């Protein structure tokens, strides 16, 4: 079993495509609101089972962090209390309680 956390969408600082800075455009309001994606992958036999839980990022932010400042969100969540570790642990425990089946051929 593998679990992970992603900040979606994500744009690197200073990256441009066809003269457009995607992060700057995002900061100006284009695109969907940021989410935290908890992902879990479990291999059973030859079948990979994937769980994807998408949570709005706003409840994880403190005052002063703009919800479209992706680098600030990443830095805050990476250095914040153990809420993220708790979320990943909860996902792992939930997946351990599930009954997954193998592929039938």
Give 43-96 pLDDT, tens digit per residue.
Answer: 887 888 888 999 999 888 888 999 999 999 999 888 876 878 888 888 888 888
Confidence of residue 1 (pLDDT cuts 50, 70, 90): confident
Residue bearing the bigger pLDDT, 26 or 96:
26
Instruction: Please check the confidence at residue 104 and state whether its pLDDT lies above 70.
Output: no
CA distance 46 to 65: 43
46-66 in b/e burial notation, b at 16+ Cβ within 10 A?
eeeeeeeeeeebeebbeeebe
């Amino acid at each position: 079993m593998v679990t992970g956390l992603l900040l979606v969408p994500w744009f690197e600082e200073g990256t441009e495509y066809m003269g457009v800075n995607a992060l700057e455009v995002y900061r100006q309001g284009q695109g969907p609101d940021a989410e935290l994606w908890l992902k879990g992958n479990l291999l059973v036999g030859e079948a990979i089972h994937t769980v994807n839980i998408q949570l709005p990022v706003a409840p994880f932010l403190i005052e002063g962090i703009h919800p479209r400042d992706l680098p600030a969100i990443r830095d805050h969540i990476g250095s914040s209390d153990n809420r993220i570790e708790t979320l990943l642990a909860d996902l792992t425990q939930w997946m351990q309680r599930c009954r997954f089946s193998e592929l039938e051929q």
